[in-house]
Amino acid sequence: MQIKAPKGCRDIYGVEAGQLQYLERVYYDLAKKFGFQEIRVPTFEQTELFQRGVGETTDIVNKEMYTFEDKGGRSMTLRPEGTAPVVRAYLEHGMANLPSPLKLFYSMNVFRYERPQKGRYREFQQFGMELIGASGALAEAEILSFLDSFFKKLGLVDYQLALNSLGCNACRSAYNEKLKDYLVEHSSELCPDCVGRSQRNPLRCLDCKNPNCAPVLNSAPLPADLLCSDCQAEFTKLLAALDQLGINYYLAPRLVRGLDYYTGTVFEFQSDKLGAQTAILGGGRYDKLIAELGGEPTPAVGYAFGVERLRLELEAGGLLPEFQPRADLSIVSFADTGVEALVLANNLRAAGLVVDCDLMGRSFKAQMKQANRQGARYLLVLGTDELQAEEVEIKRLSDGSTAMVLKSEITKYIKQSEEANGR
């Protein structure tokens, strides 16, 4: 039987691989302009990192982790997200001693045992950022402003940014108590999962997907009802900053996010083009996580998005450039000029052209056909006469026109000719 890729895992190739390279390029370039530096962390970590970091009662830790025992009997987990590993690395390498704030970005594959569907996979790629060491609205505005610039660079202007504040320790614990009392009062109308969570971590009940719980959860108290005046003021500052930066948002009082480390501002970018998978991106402030993982109390804010969800969103909006691989020049060669064609191709590539040449000893006719099929723009026939000559004939395939060009000027000729033709 033929072996297939594991369920929910994808092979990426051809046009799609080109599209992802494009997204990576735009993302990396802009992240660097905003002063973020790349961080790469291991694909798997000690399981405890996610249990303590993301939270034991979250769906991610409870149901979705790929956990295994290694040969030394240690419990390891394929990372289901990037924030906890980045914080682990921050602590392990004493990055608190680096100039603050620390601005990190990443691209990583993450793993969640979820039911696969469009935009939802078991292995998927996230782009993310973590800005560590700055509290308050300005750091949040910087992150959201980066994202606004990134999406606009991609042509995505009609995204929806949902914002909420979960409050600090003080208002969060008052809210937790109020929510717990409410849920306990209505426990007979809740699913067994929610009954358990209402004791241990009431906020997680708000993520429940069971339709039977919806009526109770829809009327539950909201974090905004209990925000303290400091949290309220900081959140108002953020909204004013976003107004000034020209970033559109809407308030989403029910947005709580599915990971336990959030405090204060949380946000999601949502789309209606992805069916059930509405969140393209999620993030927020996590001021307690670094202390919870053993560091000094340090404020931090970050986000991540599923690259595939973003790609689907761009595709639906017709916003992805065309990614057919196209050679600038195809060199047609013969049995006795094949190696010379490789040498010439290498020289022209070094000068900046995309050059294709025959590797299969094809006939002249088959090579011409191949050049057309691959969308080559120009053609050069390299026979033994051309090896000796100083000039060669270059044919423009779009209109069949030809020109005699000095070998030393092929690159210049093609570039000028392309420019003259508006490419």
Kindly list the residues in this chain that would bind ligand HAM in the complex (CB under 6 A). 81-83, 112, 114, 119-121, 124, 126, 128, 130, 258-259, 279-284, 286, 302-306, 308-309
Query: How far apart (Å, rounded) are the C-alpha atoms in residues 109 and 136?
Result: 30
Both tokens of residue 85?
């590993």
- The b/e string for 361-371 (b: 16+ C-beta within 10 A; e otherwise) is eeeeeebbebb
Alpha carbons 165 and 70: distance in angstroms, whole number: 40
**SS3 label, residue 422:** coil
Give the torsion sign (CA, 421, 357, 384, 346). Answer: positive
φ/ψ of 162, rounded to 5, equals -100, 135
Specify the residue, 45 or 308, whose C-beta has the smaller distance to ligand HAM: 308
Write down the least CB distance from residue 415 to ligand HAM, Å. 40
Shortest Cβ distance from residue 308 to ligand HAM (Å)? Answer: 6
Select 163 or 281, whichever has its Cβ closest to ligand HAM: 281
Q: How far is the CB of 54 from ligand HAM (least distance, A)?
A: 8
Contact predicate 361/338, CB 8 Å: yes
Nearer to ligand HAM, 279 or 394 (CB): 279
Instruction: Determine contact, residues 166/259, Cβ cutoff 8 Å.
Output: no
44 vs 182 by CB, closer to ligand HAM: 44
Q: Which is closer to ligand HAM, CB of 105 or CB of 378?
A: 105
Q: Which residues contact 77 (CB under 8 A, 6 or more apart)?
A: 44, 45, 46, 47, 49, 50, 65, 66, 67, 68
Q: What distance in Å separates the CA atoms of residue 236 and residue 124, rounded to the nearest whole number?
A: 35
Least CB distance to ligand HAM at residue 340 (A)? 49
Q: CB neighbours of 414 closer than 8 A, spacing ≥ 6?
A: 328, 329, 353, 377, 378, 394
By C-beta, is 223 or 284 nearer to ligand HAM? Answer: 284
User: Cα 247 vs. chain centroid, distance in angstroms?
Assistant: 20
Nearest distance in Å: CB 117, ligand HAM: 9
Pick 112 or 395: Cβ nearer ligand HAM: 112
Residue 266 Cβ vs ligand HAM, minimum distance, rounded to whole Å: 9
Measured from the CB atom, the residue of 202 and 264 that comes closer to ligand HAM is 264
**HSE-CB of 338 using CA atoms within 13 angstroms:** 11
**How far apart are CB 321 and ligand HAM at their closest, in Å?**
22
HSE-up (13 A, CA, CB side) for residue 186? 22
Least distance between ligand HAM and beta carbon 110 (Å):
7
Residue number, 55 or 82, with CB nearest to ligand HAM: 82
> What's the token pair of residue 202?
């009431």
CB of 160 to ligand HAM, least distance (A): 13
